[in-house]
Amino acid sequence: MQLKLTANNSSISTLDLSQPVVMGILNVTPDSFSDGGQYQAVDVAFEQAKKMVADGAKIIDIGGESTRPGASAVSLEEELARVIPIIRLIAAELDVVISIDTSKAQVMRQAIAAGAHIINDVRALQEEGALQAAADLAVPVCIMHMQGQPSTMQDAPAYQDVTAEVVSFLEQRIDDCVHAGIKREHIILDPGFGFGKTLEQNYQLLADTAVFHQFNLPVLIGVSRKSMIGNLLQCDESKRLAGSLACATAAATAGAQILRVHDVKETADVLAVVAQLAKHREE
C-alpha cells in the first residue's frame, strides 16, 4: 500500500505502507499527558525530531494542543505559534513525512504551507471549515473516532457495540470526506483509543483491529502510554513501555499500517521482529 503525498516543495512524494511504519509523537505543548512541557522550545523539539528519525520514525506528528481527557482549548494564535516554526525547521532539515495534529482549519492550511504533508484530526474534520480546508489542500488526512469532546469524553462513555459503532462512524465520515472532494485514497482511519472509551472498550477495539481493513484504507493505531495500559497495569506514564509495545505488537500483527508512538526505537524494533515472523509464515 502506497500513500501518495502532495508535493509542497518536498522531495517526499509517497509513503510506503507495505510494512507498518512508526509515527513519532512530538507534542509542542505544556500539558500533553505524557510529554507535556518537554519540547516547547523549537531547538529542543528539533533535536527530538532528529532522534526519532534516526530511531526509525517515518512520520513526525506535531501537535500544538493537548487532547488528553480534561484538556483546555488553545487559541488559534497560540497553536500556530507553537507548531509553525518547528514544522518549517523539520521540513527544511529532515527527510521525513510531517503530520500536523490539529482540528483547526487555519492551522491545517498554514501547517501544510509550512511543509507538513498529512493532516491528523482527532475530530475527524468536523470543526468549522476543516472539511473544506482538507479538500482544498488535497493532502492525506487521518480521521479519528471520538465520543464527546476531550473535556468530557471519559466521563461515562457508552456503546451498544463499540466496534460496530466506530466502524459506522468512520464509514459515514469517509462518505462525507469524499463528497467534500477529498480523494478516498487520501484517507487514513483511526479508531480513537482513549477518546471516549472505557478500558474494556479500548481492548475490544484493539482485538478487532483487522475489522477496520474492510475499507481498504490505511489504519493508524495510537495507544502509546495511554490510560488503557496504565489502568490495566496500575502504573504511571513512565512505566508503560512494556504495555505499549505489547499493544504495538498486537496492532502490527493485525495489519495496522501506522503506529503512533512516543517510544520510536523500541517500536521500530518490535516491527522488525513482526515483519521477520510474517515473512517466515508466508514461506
At 186 the three-state DSSP class reads: helix
- Active site residues per annotation: 226, 260
Helix (H), strand (E) at residue 245: helix 241-253
In this structure, are residues 90 and 98 in contact, taking their beta carbons and an 8 Å threshold? yes
E strand spans, the chain: 2-4, 14-16, 21-27, 57-63, 97-101, 118-121, 141-144, 187-190, 220-221, 258-261
The conformation of residue 263, written as its DSSP 8-state character, comes to -
Residues 173, 175, 176, 181: what is their CA dihedral angle, to the nearest 10 degrees? 130
In this structure, are residues 264 and 24 in contact, taking their beta carbons and an 8 Å threshold? yes
